[in-house]
């Protein structure tokens, strides 16, 4: 059944372990999360920030360098985007903090006045396996820009994110590699939890520009995930992310982690699954109780001529589209589908025209935001399971080209 309630939650849920430790109203930044409806474990909510609201479940386009590739902020608003993601690590290296501070933060720098979430840099440090050394103090590595030595610690990540002044900042963590033994995953998780305490203290040492989320680690070992969650709840983060997935594990392993973890996560805090972005994976994660997503998939696919439809992904470079005068997807109301044909988009791609990347990205991000709107409506109508079944069935019957 779908249940609606105010910010205080269902009276019947009070005292449940899932509500334990909710501190979202205790001055940990200008964010308020409202849980509006539930359908099974699927949740319909709202994040409220001074810069605007974000309806959940929500998808955040990735703007690594302070821009979502091939899109203006106005384009993003046009496809329904309410929040974007920026990257602490890359913005720290280029253009540097002095430039962003001169613009009074990332919002002014990138001309985006709606909410922003900044990643802490932990995932990027993980990706530099051949160029980094992890110690108790932090991560030592060589800059991928110019090879200069760089040190990133929990305190430094928080200092950077305070200057970026995003609405949501992320705790600095070590992304546990995959595969990892139980002992390796435990050591990595426990290091991240010690870093979480240090980062929390640094971020909230003075009035914060936003709200800091903690990141649950522990690899594919559910008992380590629960230990990580308990440690983060002891600190008192106002929002929680599930990190260390989408790094090579199987879908079955990922689902097992979520199945074991999510029932224990606090009901009245937002839940963010980092880096997972296939539409079918989003649906399955929503089914288990996730509220927020980010992924480079829709934008990267667009630049590589792969376009999302309800029946699956099509490759616009295929010869079958050479003379096709129809849109990418019949019934799609995005700017690209209303004005351009598959034939024209294939022509732009073949000629290397920049407009092609832009129009493809408009469509893909519109597809993702439409997906999230449909998911939210299905939860509100207490028919999420039917919607998910219809989505999977249509994709199975489709014939992408």
- Tokens, residue 245: 């997935």
Total length of the chain: 401
Calpha distance 337→60 (Å, rounded): 22
Beta carbons of 294 and 301 less than 8 angstroms apart: no
153 vs 138: CA distance, rounded Å: 4
Predicted TM-score (pTM) of this structure:
0.92
State the catalytic residues. 119, 294
* Residues facing 313 on adjacent strands: 308
- What is the per-residue pLDDT for 314? 97
Could you give the C-alpha distances from 396 to 152, 367, 389, in angstroms and in order? 45, 18, 11
Q: Quote the pLDDT of residue 136.
A: 97
pLDDT at residue 127, as a whole number: 65
Greatest Cα pair distance, the chain, in angstroms, is 62
Q: Residue 358 corresponds to which tokens in the numbers above?
A: 């832009």
In whole angstroms, give the CA distance from residue 324 to residue 263.
48
- Output the 3-class SS for the chain: CEEECCCCCCHHHCCCHHHCCCCCCCCCCCCEEEEEEEECCEEEEEEEECCEEEEECEEEEEECCCCCCCCCHHHHHHCCCCCEEEEHHHHHHCCCHHHHHHCCCHHHHHCCCCCEEEECCHHHHHHCCCCEEECCCCEEEECCCCCCEEEECHHHHHHHHHHHCCCEEECCCCCCCCCCCHHHHHHHHHHHHHHHHHHHHHHCCCCCCCEEEEEECCCCCHHHHHHHHHHHHHHCCCEEEECCCCCCCCHHHHHHHHHHHHHHCCCCCCEEECCCCCHHHHHHHHHHCCCEEEECHHHHHHHCCEEEECCEEEECCCHHHCCCCCCCCCCCCCHHHHHCCHHHHHHHHHCCCHHHHHHHHHHHHHHHHHHHHHHHHHHHCCCHHHHHHHHHHHHHHCCCC
Going from the first residue of the chain to its last (401 residues), give the mean pLDDT of each consecutive group of 10, the final group possibly shorter.
38 34 48 98 98 98 97 98 96 97 98 96 68 88 87 95 98 92 97 98 96 98 98 98 95 97 98 97 98 98 98 97 98 98 98 98 98 98 98 85 80
**pLDDT score at 144:** 85
Q: What is the structure's pLDDT at 401? A: 80
Token code pair at residue 345 = 């988009």
Rounded distance between C-alpha atoms, residue 289 and residue 38, angstroms: 9
């Amino acid at each position: 059944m779908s249940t609606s309630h105010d910010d205080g939650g269902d009276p019947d849920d009070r005292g449940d372990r899932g509500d334990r430790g909710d501190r979202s109203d205790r001055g940990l930044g200008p964010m308020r999360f409202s849980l509006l409806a539930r359908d099974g474990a699927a949740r319909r909510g709202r994040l409220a920030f001074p810069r605007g609201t974000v309806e959940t479940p929500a998808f955040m386009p990735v703007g690594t360098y302070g821009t979502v590739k091939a899109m203006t902020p106005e384009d993003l608003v046009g496809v329904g985007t309410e929040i974007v993601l920026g990257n602490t690590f890359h913005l720290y290296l280029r253009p540097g903090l002095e430039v962003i501070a001169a613009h009074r933060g990332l919002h002014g720098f990138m001309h985006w006045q709606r909410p922003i979430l900044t990643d802490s840099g932990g995932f990027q440090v993980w990706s530099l396996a051949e160029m980094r050394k992890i110690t108790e103090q932090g991560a030592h590595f060589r800059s991928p820009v110019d090879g200069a030595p760089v040190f990133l610690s929990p305190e430094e990540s928080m200092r950077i994110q305070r200057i970026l002044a995003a609405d949501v900042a992320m705790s600095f963590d070590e992304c546990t590699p995959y595969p990892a033994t139980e002992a390796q995953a435990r050591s990595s998780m426990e290091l991240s939890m010690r870093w979480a305490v240090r980062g929390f203290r640094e971020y909230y040492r003075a009035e914060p520009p936003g709200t800091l989320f903690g990141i649950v680690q522990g690899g594919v070992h559910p008992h380590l995930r629960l230990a990580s969650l308990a440690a983060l709840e002891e600190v008192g983060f106002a929002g929680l992310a599930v990190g260390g997935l989408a790094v090579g594990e199987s879908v079955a392993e990922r689902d097992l982690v979520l199945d074991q973890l999510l029932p224990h996560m606090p009901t009245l805090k937002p839940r963010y699954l980092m880096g997972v972005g296939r539409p079918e994976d989003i649906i399955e994660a929503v089914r288990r109780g996730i509220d927020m997503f980010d992924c480079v998939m829709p934008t990267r696919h667009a630049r590589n001529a792969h376009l999302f439809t309800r029946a699956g992904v099509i490759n616009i470079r295929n010869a079958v589209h050479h003379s096709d005068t129809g849109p990418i997807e019949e019934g799609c109301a995005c700017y690209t589908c209303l004005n351009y044909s598959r034939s024209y988009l294939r022509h732009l791609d073949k000629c290397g025209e920049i407009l092609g990347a832009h129009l493809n990205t408009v469509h893909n991000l519109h597809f993702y935001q439409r997906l999230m709107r449909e998911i939210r409506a299905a939860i509100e109508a207490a028919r999420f399971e039917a919607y998910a079944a219809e989505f999977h069935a249509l994709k199975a019957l489709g014939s992408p080209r």
